Amino acid sequence: MFGFNTIAALAAVATSPAVYAVSSQAYIWKNVKIGGGGGFVPGIVFNPTEKGLAYARTDIGGAYKLNTDDDSWSPLLDFADDARWNYWGVDALATDPVQPARLYLATGMYTNSWDPNNGQILISTDYGKTFTSSQLPFKVGGNMPGRGMGERLAVDPNSNGILFFGARSGKGLWKSTNFGVTWTQVTSFPSTGTYIPDASDTNGYDSDKVGIAWVTFDKASGTSGSATPRIFVGVANKGWSNIFVTTNGGTSWTPVAGQNTTYLPHKGVLSPSEKALYVSYSDGAGPYDGTLGAVYRYDITASTWKDITPVTGEDLYFGFGGVAIDLQKPGTIMVAALNSWWPDGQIFRSTDSGTTWSPFWAWGVYPALNKHYSYSNSLAPWLGPNYVDTTAGNKQIGWMMESLVIDPLDSNHWLYGTGATIQGGRDLLKWDTAHNVSLKSLADGIEETAIQGLISPPSGPSLLSAVGDIGGFVHTSLTTAPKTSFINPTWATSADIDFAGNKPTNIVRIGTGDSTTGKQVALSSDSGATWAQHYGAADNVSGGKVALSADGKTVLWRTGSNGVQVSSNQATFTGVSTLPSSAVIAADKKSDTVFYGASGSSFYLSTDSGQTFSVKGSLDSSQYPVKIVVNPGVTGDVWVSTDKGLFHSTNSGTSFTAIPGVTQAWAIALGAPAKAGGYPALFAAANIGGIGYFRSDDAGVNWVKINDAAHGFGSASANVLTADPRIYGRVYIGTNGRGTFYGDANGSAPPTATATSSATSSAPSSSSTTKTRTSTSTSTSANPTGTAPGGAYSQCGGQGWTGPTTCVTGYTCAYSNPFYSQCIPS
C-alpha cells in the first residue's frame, strides 16, 4: 500500500517554547472493523520452534502477532505517535528460533526525502508486548519498492545473539553480536545492490537502490552455541552475481557459482533436510511489477543449480515471489506468482522438490477456471463473493503475493499475504490428495487502510469512510465487517466524502482517477446505500476535497489538478476563479447557499452557492490552513485549524479568535455536546503542550487529552477526524495505515486545566500532565534563482520545500496537501 499522506508528518510545530498544563481523560479505543486487511502484507514469518507463533508485517500499518486460539491478529505498534510515525513501515521481521520471546523489526517508512528520519531495529523480549529501539545510521524503507523481498533481517539459529540485516540505498550488510543493540557494517560483503527501479524518478522513490534482499542461515552447517558458518545473502542485482555465500560466519564472501543473474532473487528459503536452497526470481522488485521470472533449487552438497520453474512459454507471464517449504515433509515446496494480474493469482505446489507441480487453478472451458479450493470471505465480506469465483479476471486468489508460509510445526496450516489481505487455511495436505483445500480470508485484526475522509451524519449510519486502495464503506456497525465497499461507481481510492447538513442522507464522494469511468464524483440520496455518477463532472478530473451544501443541491470541489469547481443541481462543473486552488473548503450545515474557504492567512466566504468567494477575515500569520469545521446548528460559526493554531469565528469569518495554548492544529471535528443544548464537543489533533488528541467541552477554553501511551495513531498531521453527533465523547480517528479507530470516554472527565502559555499558567494539578516542546516552523519558499523546473512527477511545493516550484513542459504543479505538491501531466 502506498501512504496517501506521506509528507504530512513533516509538518512544523510551535514557533517558540511553550509549556501547557492539560488534563488527561481515559478513553477506550477500538478499531472500526472491516474484517482485516485493506493493504499489502509483504511478510509473514513463523517461529520454527514454538508452535503457532507467527508475525506479519505491513508496509504502512505496522506489525501483528497471530492469536492461535481464533486465527486473529493483534497489533504490536499502536503506540507509534507523531515522533515515531515511521515505525508503521516494517521492512523486515525476525523471530528468534532459540528464545522465541525475542522479536526484531526493522522499521522506517521511506528512504527518500518523504521521511527525514533514519530507521531503527525494534527489539522485544516479550513477544512484541514492549520494544526498545536500536537506531541505525541510515534510512529504512518499509513502503519503498521491493518491500516484499526478504526477509532482510535474520537471527543466527545456533548463536542467537548474532543478527544480520541487509540495508537499502547502497548501505550494505550489517551485523549485531549483542541481540541487536548495536550494529556494525560487514565491510567484507562484496555488493550493496545495483538495481534501481527507475533511475529517472526525481523524487527518489523509484530511483533508490533496493539493496540487500534477504539473509538465510544454514543451521545444519554449524553447532549450537557457535556462530553459523554458512549464510546465504540475496542482493537486488541484475546482470551479475546476486546471491553470495559465506562459510566462515561472514568473514569472507563469494558469489554462488552457476546462479541465475537474469532476474532479481526475491526469496531464499532453505530446506535443511534436503540441504537445498530454493530461490524465487522476478524481473522487477515488486510489489506491482514483475512479468517474467523463475524458480531455482540449489543443491548445497553438490554445488549445483536446477531450474524448477513451474511453467514456461506463454504460460509464464509473471515473476515469482513467495516461497514456502514444509519442514515436516522434505521435498514439499510452494511458490506464488508475484503478479499474475489476469485471470487470477496463482500458487504452485510440489511434493518432489520441484520436479512436478500442481497449480491452484487451471483453465477449464474458456473463459471458465477450474479452481481447486472452497472459499470463505466471512471475516471480510467486502473482499468479494463468498463462493469460488471461476470468472476470469476476478482476482480471488490475490495479487502481490510475496509472503507465502507453511507452519513449520503443522503441515496443514498455511498463510499467504496479498495486496489486500491474508488468506490461507488449515487443511493444506488435502492439496496432495483431493487437490481441493479450504481457502479463507484470515486477516481479522489487521486493519491496514489509509483513511482519506470520515463523516458521521446526525442520522442514518454512524460512520462513512473514504479509503485508499479499497474505496470506502458505509459502516452500519462498528464491530461487524461491511458486506461491500462503495460500488457503482467503484474506485480503488475515494479521496473525500461529505454530507448535506439539512438532508444528511445526501452524500457526495470523489475518486482519484482509478475507475473504469473518467468521472470521479458520485452522489447518494440514501446514506450511501446506492450511488449515481455526477455526470456534470469532466472526465479525467479527480482527487482533492469536496463539500456538499446544506440541502445537497451544490457540490464544491477542490480538484486535485484543475482548481476549485462548483456544480449546482448536477449541472456541469465550472471553475471558481475567486478561490485559490489550494484552498481548504467547507459547506455551511444550515444555509444552502453558504460555503467557506481558507488559503494562507485569508478566510473566504461565498453566499451565492460557491459561485464567487471574497476574502472575509484573517487567520493571523497562518500559512497552511488544514481543516474547516462548521457548527451544525449555527450558520457562520466556524473553526479553522492551521500551522499557527486553532481559530474560531462566530460571524462567518469576519473576525477570528485564536484559541490560547494551541500552537498548531490539524484535523478537527465537532460532536455531540456534553449537555443537551450545550456547545458541541470540539476534538482536535493538535499541539497543546505536546502533539496529541484533545477534546474541549467549552469551545476551546479547557481541554483534556484523550489518547494515551498505547495509542499514538501515527502521524497526527496525516490523520482525519470526525465526531459522533449522537454520542457525547465519541470520536473517530482515521489513520494513514492502521484504519479507523473509535474512542469513547471511560468514566467522567478529570478536572480540566485551561491551556495557557507558560508565562501565565500555574503549576499543573496532580491529575494533569506537563509537556514541553521546542521547535521552529518552516515555510514554502519561492522558486530559488536559477533552479530548473521539476521533472515529471517530482515534488514542486509544500511546507519546508526549497526545490523547484515549476514543472517541465507538459506538467503542472498540483497541490496535494499543505506539505506536498507534485508535477503531474497537464
The C-alpha cell at 128 is 512484541
**How crowded is residue 422: how many other Cβ atoms within 10 Å of its Cβ?**
29
Helix (H) or strand (E) holding 271: strand 264-271
Question: Is 755:661 a contact under the CB 8 Å cutoff?
Answer: yes
Q: What is the DSSP letter of 183?
A: -
535: left (phi over 0), alpha (psi -120 to 50) or beta: alpha
167: left (phi over 0), alpha (psi -120 to 50) or beta: beta
Strand partners, 510: 496, 521
Enumerate the H helices of 619-740 as residue ranges: none
Q: How do strand 638-642 and strand 625-630 relate by DSSP bridges? A: antiparallel
Question: Is 574:590 a contact under the CB 8 Å cutoff?
Answer: no
Active-site annotation holder among 156, 201, 208, 469 = 469
Q: Could you tell me which of 287, 144, 272 has the C-alpha nearest to residue 216?
A: 272
Report how far residue 698's alpha carbon sits from residue 701's, in angstroms, rounded to the nearest whole number. 6
The alpha carbon of 51 is separated from its chain's Cα centroid by a whole number of angstroms, namely 30
Report how far residue 435's alpha carbon sits from residue 242's, in angstroms, rounded to the nearest whole number. 36
Residue 70 designated active-site: no
Which residues does 481 contact at the CB level (< 8 Å), separation at least 6?
A: 33, 34, 35, 36, 379, 380, 381, 382
Report how far residue 31's alpha carbon sits from residue 379's, in angstroms, rounded to the nearest whole number. 15
Strand partners, 585: 597
CB-based burial label for 538 (10 Å; 0-12, 13-18, 19+): middle
**How crowded is residue 504: how many other Cβ atoms within 10 Å of its Cβ?**
21
243-246 long-range Cβ contacts below 8 angstroms, 24+ apart: 243/268, 243/279, 244/189, 244/190, 244/191
The CA-atom distances, in angstroms, between 420 and each of 234, 242, 293, 441, 543 are 27, 30, 23, 10, 22
Report how far residue 648's alpha carbon sits from residue 638's, in angstroms, rounded to the nearest whole number. 6
Which residues does 268 contact at the CB level (< 8 Å), separation at least 6?
A: 213, 214, 216, 232, 234, 243, 277, 278, 279
Q: Could you tell me which of 234, 239, 431 has the C-alpha nearest to residue 333?
A: 431
Residue 59 designated active-site: yes
Q: Is the peptide bond before 804 cis (omega within 30 degrees of 0)?
A: no
Report how far residue 474's alpha carbon sits from residue 730's, in angstroms, rounded to the nearest whole number. 18
Tell me the three state secondary structure of residue 641: strand
Question: Is 345:397 a contact under the CB 8 Å cutoff?
Answer: yes
Question: Is 547:606 a contact under the CB 8 Å cutoff?
Answer: no
User: What is the distance in angstroms between the CA of the first residue and the CA of the last residue of the chain?
Assistant: 26
Catalytic residues: 59, 469
